[in-house]
Chains A and B, each alone.
Chain A
Amino acid sequence: QSVLTQPPSASVTPGQRVTISCSGSSSNIGRNSVYWYQQLPGAAPKLLIYKNDQRPSGVPDRFSGSKSGTSASLAISGLRSEDEAHYYCAAWDDSLSGWVFGGGTQLTVV
């Protein structure tokens, strides 16, 4: 069982918008920044969002992140078939002295 909680799956139609949630606690999301990753089938994870809402260069502005209290969200607009992937959130946990990840959300674009 993961320390950060994400919905296991989401299904949306092309062009729509989806929001993926990530719920934690005061020792992780409540005190530290949240990071989001996209993992395409058979590939290594790729950084999408850092420090809650910052996009690395090269990541389209269709991807956005936010954080409030002990929860965070990743929003993806204008969904395309190539967005089909697993999405993971992560944060440093002060109590565990380690990084914790969400269980991942499998996004299907149908």
Chain B
Amino acid sequence: EVQLVESGGGLVQPGGSLRLSCAASGFTFSRFWMMWVRQAPGKGLEWVANINEDGSVKHHLDFVKGRFTISRDNAKKSLFLLMNSLRVEDTAVYYCVRELSGGPDYWGQGILVTVSS
């Protein structure tokens, strides 16, 4: 069974940092593109970043470029999102998502990040 379990969320002050982690199991992690998608409270879905199988290709949403960095550790079957200079507008549930058949297919349950003073 495919499982994606996010961790590392919580409350942080504006300007602070957090590192999200996603532990994958039930599939060969190193063979898949992965991504982070977020959802602000009561709002729609917003793609944040994605990364290819070996970590050599990364794309980030313009709004987070220079502040967020996606990475992965295939040996540990883990996906990461390092978030610096956090803003109130970054408050959201962050989902770890696998890509299959060219698009996002399986989603984790999500982790809440709250940026507030």
Chain A residues engaging chain B, CB cutoff 8 angstroms:
2, 33, 35, 37, 44-47, 50-51, 54, 56, 86, 88, 90, 92, 96-104
Contacts and interface: CB of A to CB of B under 8 A. Distances in A.
By secondary structure, the B interface counts as strand
Interface in B38-90: 44-47, 50, 59-62
A2 B47 CA distance: 11
B35 interface: yes
Given A33-B102, A50-B103, A51-B101, A101 B95 contact: no
Nearest to A35: B103
A45 B103 contact: no
6 closest pairs, A vs B, by CB? A99-B47, A44-B107, A35-B103, A104-B44, A101-B45, A47-B105
Contacts, number: 62
Interface of B: 35, 37, 44-47, 50, 59-62, 95, 100-110
Given A44-B107, A44-B109, A45-B95, A101 B47 contact: yes
